[in-house]
């Protein structure tokens, strides 16, 4: 499975978790563990870092993370709300 497909699965799990765009680091790690099991601690950290560096996950405030919607749309992930790619945040 390619990395883009794995990233897509992680993001889809986050979206269906019910906490749309308001995640803790533990929420993101949980989605990584459930999607890509079995994993060790280093792999979880590496995947979190990958999501962060590729800007799929952003940190609008300390301790809270959200999805970078313009980047996520490029993966063709179905979002619960239609989002214009030029829109920077949900109103």
Domain ranges of the chain: 3-73
- Give the pLDDT of residue 52: 93
Q: What is the pLDDT of residue 16?
A: 86
The per-residue pLDDT for 84 is 58
Residue 87: the pLDDT is 63
Establish whether the linkage from the previous residue to 30 is cis, with ω within 30° of 0. no
Contacts of 79 (CB under 8 A, 6+ apart): 15, 69, 72, 73
Q: Tell me the per-residue pLDDT of 23-67, one tens digit each, with 9 for 90 and over.
A: 999 999 999 999 988 778 999 999 999 999 999 999 988 989 999
**pLDDT on residue 66:** 92
- pLDDT given at position 91: 53
Crossing angle (nearest 10°) for helices 25-35 and 3-16? 120
Count CB neighbours of 51 within 10 A: 22
Q: Does domain 3-73 have CATH number 1.10.10.10?
A: yes
Query: What pLDDT is recorded for position 1?
Result: 61
Q: What per-residue confidence (pLDDT) applies to 78?
A: 73
Taking residue 81's Cβ as centre, other Cβ atoms within 10 Å add up to 8
């Amino acid at each position: 499975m390619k990395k883009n497909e794995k990233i897509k699965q992680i993001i889809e799990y986050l979206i269906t978790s019910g906490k749309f765009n308001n995640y803790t680091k533990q929420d993101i790690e949980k989605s990584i563990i459930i999607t890509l099991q079995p994993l060790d601690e280093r792999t979880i950290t590496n995947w979190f870092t990958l999501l962060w560096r590729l800007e799929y996950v952003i940190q609008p405030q300390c301790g809270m993370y959200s999805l970078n919607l313009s980047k996520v749309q490029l993966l063709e992930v179905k979002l619960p709300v239609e989002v214009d790619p030029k829109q920077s945040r949900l109103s």
